[in-house]
């Protein structure tokens, strides 16, 4: 059975994006500081980066796909990522508004899922063919999957910065059902993994 995984980078005060998000600054003021680890040179974060792209299907909220709201006026918006998006697989975009599949270069195809998250997840699982399904964001979509206990592994990348305001990751989630699995500190980010089964349980009984 494929797992549902989720990678998300947050500030130490729990924001996935800073205030004043805009088309030009989708991460808001200070938001770029969160993701410095993803662009650092060297192999320090290779394992975490490899894990992010290892999923075989992806689900994202419509606001992550783009700024267009309401019914699609036309097919001109094709995502933030240019001709060759980094997903290289099927991406299910949660929306209330139908739109034909949108194939891009490099194996990425955007599918528009209009029947809710459960149906979108079923389609993504089928497409992943035993591989992992990744919840790609944004924060509201991740929160919805966490609240419905659909995430098997949350990989939280905590950047040592404060944003003070902006978009919080865990707003609206009432219960956290995952347990700590691993943690690793690096100069730019601390990688925390939460999953279904705790690491070190045997050790803690000693």
Q: Which residues bind a copy of itself (CB under 8 A)?
A: 12-14, 40, 42-44, 158, 160-162, 164, 168, 170, 173-176, 178-194, 198-201, 203-206
- Closest to a copy of itself by CB, 80 vs 176, is 176
Comparison of 122 and 181: residue with beta carbon closer to a copy of itself: 181
- Pick between residue 42 and residue 130 the one whose CB is nearest to a copy of itself: 42
- Cβ neighbors of 176 (< 8 A, separation 6 or more) are 146, 170, 194
Which residues are bridge partners to 200 per DSSP? none
For the bound state, the minimum distance from the C-beta of residue 163 to a copy of itself, rounded and expressed in Å, comes to 10
Q: In sequence order, which ranges of 9-108 are alpha helices (DSSP H)?
A: 46-53, 62-65
Contacts of 156 (CB under 8 A, 6+ apart): 8, 10, 191, 192, 193, 194
**Looking at beta carbons only, is 64 or 193 nearer to a copy of itself?**
193
How near is the Cβ of 183 to a copy of itself at its closest, in Å? 4
Q: Least distance to a copy of itself from the beta carbon of 188, Å?
A: 8
63: nearest Cα among 143, 170, 6, 2 = 143
To a copy of itself, the closest distance from the beta carbon of 82 in angstroms equals 29
At closest approach, how far in Å is the CB of 24 from a copy of itself? 24
**Between 71 and 200, CB nearer to a copy of itself:** 200
Distance separating alpha carbons of residues 106 and 88, to the nearest angstrom: 5
CA distances (Å), 192 to each of 4, 9, 46, 156, in order?
Answer: 16, 10, 15, 5
CB atoms near residue 198 (< 10 Å) = 14
């Amino acid at each position: 059975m494929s797992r549902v995984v989720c990678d998300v980078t947050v500030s130490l005060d729990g924001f996935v994006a800073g205030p004043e998000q805009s088309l030009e600054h989708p991460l808001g003021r200070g938001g770029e500081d969160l993701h410095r680890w993803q662009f650092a040179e060297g192999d320090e974060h290779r394992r975490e980066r490899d894990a992010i792209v290892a999923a075989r299907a992806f689900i994202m909220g419509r606001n992550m796909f783009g700024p267009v709201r309401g019914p699609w006026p036309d097919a001109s918006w094709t995502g933030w990522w240019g001709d060759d998006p980094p997903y290289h697989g099927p991406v299910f975009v949660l929306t209330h508004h139908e739109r034909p599949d949108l194939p891009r270069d490099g194996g990425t195809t955007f599918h528009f899922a209009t029947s809710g998250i459960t149906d979108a997840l079923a389609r993504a699982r089928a497409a992943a063919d035993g591989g992992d399904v990744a919840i790609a964001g944004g924060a509201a979509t991740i929160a919805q999957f966490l609240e419905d206990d659909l995430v098997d592994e949350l990989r939280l990348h905590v950047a040592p910065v404060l944003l003070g305001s902006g978009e919080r990751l865990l707003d609206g989630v009432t219960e956290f059902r995952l347990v700590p699995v691993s943690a690793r500190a690096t100069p730019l980010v601390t990688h925390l993994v939460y999953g279904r089964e705790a690491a070190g349980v045997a050790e803690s009984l000693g």
